[in-house]
Structure 1
């Protein structure tokens, strides 16, 4: 006897509703076809050394979701806001700046279980359905996939801008093994002639729709322990961004009245955000304690100390 599956349109509507109920502010559906229009730009970026400090990136895998997971047919992409109006990096007297996405628990530990539960519920409704949860660590062009799913466009700072809802959001994807009707893709960008994000970048790492990781502060405070070039080291000291950097998003007009994250999750108090720079932890044990269950745990204490030394000059 053949297995009966729900109507694809009804199943899609149910999935979207469940995703929104689980905390995603926006959710859209996109086909998992290769990103043919991104091939030339991505190949040029790699050829110019864009991936030199990010060795885990591979253009072949990035350009095709099915290279990551061959069964992928449809992607449910969600936008999960995280910023809080009260959580402003550097606002505490004498403090350094840590990117807003680092304020609160590790976002992987928040988003992955929610998507996994959604997958389990979907499998109960659609027998034989397979899926894969992707939150940031998989080699997937999540921003392009989100644009394909109709959530927004990739701004000049290269981040996804969800229209008036802004760019302060994590992206999570659930790759599904069935074909579902896709949403209307976002094919136009609405940055216009604005260059606020480019002008705000402390290390001049941004060109329109292009990021140079070799000049980005986040690269040297989060991704690699490599010694930054002298101009980047000077920008670190001047800007006081000790982990990540939000300068481009702070300057973006689309973030004037964005979607804000849940108060119970993001923007909670931590000595890392409120202590004066001179009082920040420099010992391994202190660092492990303060970064426990946060996205900063991936940064080693020696890396943190090196960043502090570059900023504080000691």
Structure 2
């Protein structure tokens, strides 16, 4: 397919910002050789825990041309979720910031769908797919290649302008676009705040996360019993964990989002420690009907609460 002109990329980025995205960058589809080597070693070391799906479709993870036929471009977008609200009770079990509002999968897919329609109608006819953390796509790798940030020592994508409290999504399309020829250098320097702050030592070395020790993995992905060796190390986290981001100096740049769908239910933010521990299925369904917290299910949340109290 013929390459579009430079103005096409500018218009796509402007539309992305108009839709509420924090940033947008474009890279060319290619085989991710370096990422493959790191991923294979990580899997061989068993650091994915029970996330067996991480080992599935390996070739698709590192080559988007196998996901979208004849794909030429990866359009990466960021969506801010940093909240202005805080949980009222300082002793209440702590919910990860990303789970305060509506499940981000729905919100981002809708916006990406609009962006794809814009490209098809205003830029050039094309085919493509939207991806939001639910398919074998290496989101952070593509965002880094699009110049949106660097992958930090805590394994999160970090932006010099926005910090790291954002979701990442992609459009992979069969239209060749001018790419962003800028790779953001690593700005972590000698800082080790994320490694030092992780209460379970899940960051086993800079840029390497052992998911089996990660609070997010244990409270969300793990379907069995939580590892008793981690007892007393969760710092009251009941679903997800933001510690390695909270201590990152680059997140001093974080500003509150303006996405209505991410605004939390005040009832949720006002829950006391006692109300959390006494939560029943009816209240769970009421508070988390459209939330990412549904992923752990009611039984999983009760397991997490019990682990914090024992």
TM-score by length of 2: 0.93
Moved more, 52-61 or 157-166: 52-61
- Following superposition, the deviation at residue 7 of structure 1 comes to 4.1
- Following superposition, the deviation at residue 187 of structure 1 comes to 5.0
Q: Report the Cα distance in structure 2 between the residues aligned to 1:231 and 1:270, rounded to whole angstroms.
A: 35
Q: Deviations over 1:259-290 (max 9, x none)?
A: 43116343434434331222125322221111
Name the SS of the counterpart of 2:111 in structure 1. helix
- Following superposition, the deviation at residue 188 of structure 1 comes to 2.0
Name the SS of the counterpart of 1:235 in structure 2. coil
Q: Are positions 1:137 and 2:131 aligned together?
A: no
Q: Report the Cα distance in structure 2 between the residues aligned to 1:257 and 1:312, rounded to whole angstroms.
A: 34
- Following superposition, the deviation at residue 189 of structure 1 comes to 0.7
Q: Report the Cα distance in structure 2 between the residues aligned to 1:88 and 1:231, rounded to whole angstroms.
A: 30
Structure 2 partner of 1:276 = 272
- 1:1-314 matches, within 5 Å, as 7-58=4-55, 59-84=58-83, 86-88=84-86, 92-206=89-203, 207-236=205-234, 239-262=235-258, 264-280=260-276, 281-313=278-310
Q: Report the Cα distance in structure 2 between the residues aligned to 1:52 and 1:231, rounded to whole angstroms.
A: 15
- Following superposition, the deviation at residue 190 of structure 1 comes to 0.7
Q: Report the Cα distance in structure 1 between the residues aligned to 2:263 and 2:195, rounded to whole angstroms.
A: 26
User: 1:197, 1:247 within 8 Å by CA — same for their partners in 2?
Assistant: yes
Segments of structure 1 that go 5 or more residues without pairing to the other structure are: none
Name the SS of the counterpart of 1:299 in structure 2. helix
The 4+ residue runs of structure 1 with deviation greater than 6 A are none
Name the SS of the counterpart of 2:75 in structure 1. strand
Q: Deviations over 1:170-207 (max 9, x none)?
A: 11111111111110242521101100011111111012
User: 1:203, 1:231 within 8 Å by CA — same for their partners in 2?
Assistant: no
Name the SS of the counterpart of 2:231 in structure 1. helix
User: 2:157, 2:164 within 8 Å by CA — same for their partners in 1?
Assistant: yes
Q: Report the Cα distance in structure 1 between the residues aligned to 2:10 and 2:47, rounded to whole angstroms.
A: 39
Moved more, 269-278 or 181-190: 269-278
Q: Report the Cα distance in structure 1 between the residues aligned to 2:111 and 2:86, rounded to whole angstroms.
A: 27
What's the Cα RMSD here? 1.9
Name the SS of the counterpart of 1:222 in structure 2. helix
User: 1:96, 1:273 within 8 Å by CA — same for their partners in 2?
Assistant: no
Q: Report the Cα distance in structure 2 between the residues aligned to 1:19 and 1:210, rounded to whole angstroms.
A: 31
- Following superposition, the deviation at residue 164 of structure 1 comes to 3.3
Q: Report the Cα distance in structure 2 between the residues aligned to 1:127 and 1:251, rounded to whole angstroms.
A: 44
Name the SS of the counterpart of 1:76 in structure 2. strand
Name the SS of the counterpart of 2:54 in structure 1. coil
Segments of structure 2 that go 5 or more residues without pairing to the other structure are: none
Change (3 A) 1:118 1:92: same
Query: How many pairs were matched up?
Result: 306
